[in-house]
Amino acid sequence: MVLVCGTATEVGKTWVAARLLTELRSRGLTVAARKPAQSFDVDSRGVSLGGATDAEALAAASGEHPGEVCHSFRSYHRAMAPPIAAQVLGLPPFTVSDLRDELSWPTDGVDVGVVETAGGVRSPQADDGDVCDLSAALAPDIVVLVADAGLGTINSIRLTMDALTGGGAGTAPPVVVVLNHYDGGHEIHRRNRAWLTERVGYRMVAAPGGESELADLVARA
Catalytic residues: 35
Sheet with 112-120: list strands edge to edge. 31-34, 112-120, 2-6, 142-148, 175-180, 203-206
Rounded distance between C-alpha atoms, residue 128 and residue 121, angstroms? 14
Cα–chain-centroid distance for residue 92? 24
Counting Cα atoms < 13 Å in the Cβ hemisphere of 206 gives: 16
Instruction: Please answer whether residues 139 and 100 qualify as being in contact, where contact means their C-beta atoms are separated by less than 8 angstroms.
Output: no
Sign of the Cα pseudo-torsion (63, 21, 57, 79, in order): positive
Exposure string over 103-131, b if 16+ CB within 10 A, otherwise e:
beeeeeebebbbbbbbbbbebbbbbebbb
Rounded distance between C-alpha atoms, residue 91 and residue 114, angstroms? 27
Q: Please, what is the angle between helix 13-26 and helix 54-62, to 10°?
A: 10
Give the Cβ contact number of residue 174 at 10 Å: 13
